[in-house]
Amino acid sequence: MERYERALAALAHRGRRRSLAPRAGIDFTSNDYLALAGDPALRDALAAALEAGVPAGAGGSRLLRGNHPEHEALEAEAAAFFRCGAALYFGGGFLANYALLSLLPRREDLVVHDELIHASCREGMRAGAAQCVTARHNDAQSVDGRIAAWRAAGGEGRPWIVVESLYSMDGDRAPLADLADIAARREAMLIIDEAHATGVFGPDGRGLAAGLEGREDVICVHTCGKALGAMGALVCAPAPLVDYLVNRSRPFIYATAPSPLMAVAVRAALRVLREQPQRREALAALMDFANRSLAQRCSLPASGSQILPVVVGEGARALRLAEAMCGRGFDVRGIRPPTVPEGTARLRISITLNAGRDAVAAMIEALERSLGELA
Measure Cα distances from 15 to 18, 104, 340 in Å.
Answer: 9, 38, 14
> Do 292 and 367 lie in a common domain?
yes
Q: pTM to 2 decimals?
A: 0.94
Q: How many CB atoms lie within 10 A of CB 280?
A: 21
Residue 196 a catalytic site member: yes
**Residue 222 C-beta-side C-alpha neighbours within 13 Å:** 36
Task: Give the structural domain span for 282.
Answer: 21-38+277-374
Q: pLDDT value at position 2?
A: 85
Q: How many CB atoms lie within 10 A of CB 234?
A: 29
Residue 283 covered by a domain:
yes
Check 193, 194, 213, 331 and give the catalytic one. Answer: 193
Q: How confident is the model at residue 15 (pLDDT cuts 50, 70, 90)?
A: confident
Mean pLDDT of 291-295: 96
**In whole numbers, what is the pLDDT of the chain averaged over residues?**
96
Mean pLDDT of 70-92: 98
Q: How many CB atoms lie within 10 A of CB 343?
A: 10
In 3D space, the residue among 289, 275, 272 whose CA is nearest the CA of residue 356 turns out to be 289
**Domain CATH for 345:** 3.90.1150.10
Residue 364 covered by a domain:
yes
Measure Cα distances from 123 to 1, 95, 131, 159, 177 in Å.
Answer: 26, 10, 14, 18, 26
Mean pLDDT of 162-178: 97
Q: How confident is the model at residue 286 (pLDDT cuts 50, 70, 90)?
A: very high
| pLDDT digit string, tens, across residues 136-151 | 999 999 999 999 999 9
Domain boundary (221, 244, 274) is at: 274
**Domain CATH for 227:** 3.40.640.10
Domain boundary (274, 305, 339) is at: 274
Query: What are the DSSP calls for 152-168, one per residue?
Result: HTT--S-EEEEEESB-T
Residue 288 a catalytic site member: no
> Do 229 and 174 lie in a common domain?
yes
Residue 108 a catalytic site member: no
Is it the case that residue 160 has pLDDT exceeding 80?
yes
Q: pLDDT value at position 8?
A: 85
Q: How confident is the model at residue 200 (pLDDT cuts 50, 70, 90)?
A: very high
Residue 179 covered by a domain:
yes
Residue 370 a catalytic site member: no
Q: pLDDT value at position 283?
A: 98
Q: pLDDT value at position 17?
A: 84
Mean pLDDT of 299-315: 93
Check 68, 71, 113, 118 and give the catalytic one. Answer: 118
Instruction: Report which residue type is found at 236.
Output: C
